Structure 1
Amino acid sequence: MTGIALRHEEKLQPPPGHPLLGFRSAISPHVAELEGHILGWAERYAVLDNARARDKLARTRLGELVARAYPTILPARLEAVAGWFTWAFVIDDCYEHDAGHYDEPAAQTLRVLVRDLKPDATHTRLDALLADVWHRLAAGMSTAWRLRFTQHMAHFLAAFKYEAFNRQVRHVPDLLGYQQLRRASGGITPSLDLLEVATEQEVPGLLHEFEQARVMFNRASDVVVWVNDIVSLRKELAAGETTNGVLVLAEKHHVELPEAIDLAYALVTRQIEEFEQATSELETLMSRWRGLEPENVDAVRTFTDGLRSWMRGNLDWSGNSDRYQNADGVLLSTDSSLISPSTPSLSEPH
């Protein structure tokens, strides 16, 4: 494997003129409210390790990510969407600690969604948080949306197992396999589903499955996770992470990390080009699709704008968030009992 040294002065942002910088940068005016909701959810369900973890969550500026990814989010949807991101970032850190249990905890979490469990019917505090959030998110959404979101959550939960295996054996996956795993492991697919919750404009189930819409969805997902791999590189190198796209490209092309970063941004350029091509094709298709109601067209266009906001908002937030700027090793939670009640707690919540 090629060397993995990365000098501090090396740039992790896209080069001037990159198409990602051509997307409009926007942010919701509700940033402070979102930050308050995120800390509120974490405290209500006691899912953080201690005061240091709470400080880490505050410095992560997760509310800013939500505000940038969903700049037109409705006030009535702020608390629910903030709650899902609190859950997602905590569970991600729990599994980064290598909890060692994957299949049954994943099935247990999915039962929260499938059975519409109430918080007091769940097994862990983290599942209770998700149950509370789920009832708020799913309110008013169709069965088709609920099934799609649940499927994407299943992919997200399953990916933790494979990432942990890669860490344990110090394996850098090949590019083909990595592209499939990363889209799931980043939690971006359910995050994009929340675009419809945030605006209360749901894309009809059939349209969402059009080939062009699927390409748009997948390419936007890929842009977010590949950019995340670049901007989080220092943090992940410090943590011993091996499931990172920059490392995958370095291994595949036998280059050092600066060249691999350039290759990653070139890949993002191609992903954006494919996104825009699919967007154009979908507009043409909708103009010729008989019986399509104006509100459905508006929902698709709002969703498309949201995909662009996610791609650009993720980049803008990454430059401000302590999660990537400070590789201090502090996790939001290392408490295995948040994932599986059969495992001992490694730390007491405060």
Structure 2
Amino acid sequence: MATSPIQFIIPDLLSTFPWPRRLSEHYLQVKSESAAWVDSYPLFNEELLRPVQHNDPALLAAHTTPREKDIVRLQSDLLIILLAMDEVSDEGGSELNTQIREIVMDAFRNPYNERPGGEHQLGEMTRDFWIRALDRLPPGAFSIPRFIDTFDAYANAIVTKAKDKVERRHRTFEEYLSIRRSTIGLLPCFIISESMLNIPDDVYNHSRMVALRELAMVLIIIANDLFSYAKEKARDEGSAVHNAVEIVMVEKDLDIQGAVKELERYIAGVMAEFLDNAANLPTWGEEMDGKTKAYVDGLAQWIRGNDCWSFETTRYFGKEGLEIQKTRVMKIPAGFSSESP
């Protein structure tokens, strides 16, 4: 007798979120330009190109950064670099990951130097992206060192992520969130979104501004883990050990639906904190208050846009995304236990 697939329900985490869906009018043009850019690098063979096409980074950029066309394009290309690094980290050992990190970070720190012949193509891709970004920013922009620092943290963290998957290491929920805030690569993306605001360090590093970034990342991380869990579990490649659903199942001895409900309760608290911090920022004067409002709107757009993109692309749900968005029913193929691992 055939075994039925495991089903669980994913909650609508943003049912009361006050920021609506927005899609940049530049989406299709950016998609075409980013695709041509990818095609110009031999790094992307057919196997590596497939996840880029399925993920549609231009769609995520258009949902989360619905601003000037060149900013949307930079965001799309950055997402491609992040995706390529993530794919390489999943396939390579610690030596390759360390090498890629050194190449990429050197390209960020020395963008006007020609890249050495024969090195990994991510070096030249990064250099090209960063030169275009620097051309868009005023000299001495606050976002320049912020971007380099946050990307360096991301590059370091994906080495840890790859090692965890190989070793099938289960971290605690708080340990996982600490690492995941770097491995998800959101901080560099946030900086591209807000780069033209040029918010000074004293405002950017205010406790409520820091909290808003941290909370936005957690909201996106948990959503991504809920959406990706069935796919990761079905692949059985160790990916699910780097997923909040699996971690909560282990930590609290729950089945899948129990872990999902636990995460739903957790996210409700995170959402309340985000809205409280957004509503209670201090005032820095009319001009700066306008910039901080735009900054908060940008973070909120990432939260909403990531949710929309998750169902509109094929990354998590194949061609069933819009249907699953309505029904909220997820399925894992037969052969996996719904009990905690």
TM-score class, shorter: 0.7 to 0.9
Gaps of 5+ in 1: 328-350
Q: Distance in 2 between matches of 1:82 and 1:44?
A: 15
Task: Identify which range, 207-216 or 248-257, moves more after superposition.
Answer: 248-257
Q: How many residues align?
A: 310
Q: Which residue of 87, 91, 108 corresponds with 1:93?
A: 87
Q: Distance in 1 between matches of 2:205 and 2:265?
A: 28
2:327 alignment counterpart = none
Residue 278, structure 1, aligned to residue 277, structure 2: yes
2:182 alignment counterpart = 184
Residue 206, structure 1, aligned to residue 198, structure 2: no
Change (3 A) 1:316 1:252: same
Q: Distance in 1 between matches of 2:266 and 2:308?
A: 19
Gaps of 5+ in 2: 320-341
Residue 295, structure 1, aligned to residue 287, structure 2: yes
Question: Offset at 1:298?
Answer: 1.7
1:109 alignment counterpart = 104
RMSD (Å) for aligned C-alpha atoms: 2.3
Q: Which residue of 211, 214, 236 corresponds with 1:218?
A: 214
Contact 2:71–2:192, Cα closer than 8 Å, also in 1: no
Q: Distance in 2 between matches of 1:65 and 1:204?
A: 27
Q: Distance in 2 between matches of 1:313 and 1:269?
A: 18
State TM-score, norm by structure 2.
Answer: 0.84
The one-letter amino acid of 2:104's match is T
Q: Which residue of 55, 62, 67 corresponds with 2:57?
A: 62
Change (3 A) 1:251 1:9: closer
1:338 alignment counterpart = none
Percent of counterpart pairs with the same letter? 16
1:339 alignment counterpart = none
Per-residue Cα deviation, 1:225-275 (whole angstroms, up to 9, x for no partner) = 111111111222223211111111111111011111122222222111111
Question: Offset at 1:41?
Answer: 1.9
Question: Offset at 1:117?
Answer: 3.8
SS across alignment from 1:171: coil
The one-letter amino acid of 1:167's match is K
Q: Distance in 1 between matches of 2:172 and 2:108?
A: 33
Q: Distance in 1 between matches of 2:296 and 2:114?
A: 34
Task: Identify which range, 212-221 or 112-121, moves more after superposition.
Answer: 112-121
Per-residue Cα deviation, 1:129-180 (whole angstroms, up to 9, x for no partner) = 1111011123324443111111110111111121122112211111121110
1:323 alignment counterpart = 315
Residue 78, structure 1, aligned to residue 77, structure 2: no
Question: Offset at 1:211?
Answer: 0.5
SS across alignment from 1:319: helix
Q: Which residue of 172, 179, 182 corresponds with 2:170?
A: 172
Question: Offset at 1:111?
Answer: 1.7
Task: Identify which range, 149-158 or 77-86, moves more after superposition.
Answer: 77-86
1:308 alignment counterpart = 300
Per-residue Cα deviation, 1:175-199 (whole angstroms, up to 9, x for no partner) = 12111001000001111111113xx
Q: Distance in 1 between matches of 2:301 and 2:113?
A: 33
Q: Distance in 2 between matches of 1:137 and 1:295?
A: 24
Contact 1:41–1:86, Cα closer than 8 Å, also in 2: no
Misfit runs of 4+, over 6 Å: none
Change (3 A) 1:318 1:8: farther
The one-letter amino acid of 2:123's match is D
Change (3 A) 1:227 1:7: farther
Contact 1:220–1:308, Cα closer than 8 Å, also in 2: yes
SS across alignment from 2:242: coil
Contact 1:167–1:243, Cα closer than 8 Å, also in 2: yes
Change (3 A) 1:149 1:256: same
Question: Offset at 1:119?
Answer: 5.3
Q: Distance in 2 between matches of 1:66 and 1:11?
A: 28
SS across alignment from 1:10: strand
Question: Offset at 1:74?
Answer: 0.3
1:265 alignment counterpart = 264
Greater relative CO (CA pairs within 8 A, separation 6+)? 1
1:335 alignment counterpart = none
Question: Offset at 1:296?
Answer: 2.1
Q: Which residue of 142, 146, 166 corresponds with 1:144?
A: 142
